[in-house]
Amino acid sequence: MNNSPLWRSALFLMAAQLFGDSTGVIYEILDVTLRQALTSDDRLGRMNATIRVFEVGLTAVGALLSGVLGQVIGIRDTMMIAAVGMVLSTLWLLLSPIRKIRELPVNDFT
């Protein structure tokens, strides 16, 4: 039996949706913009396709891993690991030089 109150679960879900979805949209816009600025026009299709293959492939791996973890250690612990992983995944952006970019790089691909 679940011993945590329903309101706490609902609060965490709403916070994850509010902050995760809004920051996810911002990240996607900035990510694609930076990739397009750094890639020559004749390679944009290949670069975007490669990134999408990795994104979709890793999503499938994550879904499979979360299902296995849910069976082995339980749903609550799996959700906690996922939440901590999501928070820690932003560290590489905070510590990278990407954070200091103030204007898009201009590359002459001619």
| Model pLDDT, residue 2 | 58
pLDDT of 70 strictly over 60 = yes
Buried residues in 44-81 as b, exposed as e (16+ CB within 10 A): eeeeeeeeeeeeeeeeeeeeeeeeebeeeeeeeebbee
> Residue 67 — very low, low, confident or very high, per pLDDT cuts 50/70/90?
very high
**Model pTM score:** 0.64
Structure tokens at 104: 């898009």
- The rounded distance, in Å, linking the Cα atoms of 43 and 45 is 6
User: If pLDDT is split at 50, 70 and 90, which confidence band does 17 have?
Assistant: confident
pLDDT at position 108 is 67
pLDDT of 4 over the 80 cut = no
Least confident window among 33-42, 61-70, 90-99: 90-99
Alpha-carbon Rg for the chain, nearest whole angstrom, is 18
Characterise 108 by phi-psi region: left (phi > 0), alpha (psi -120 to 50), beta (else). Answer: beta
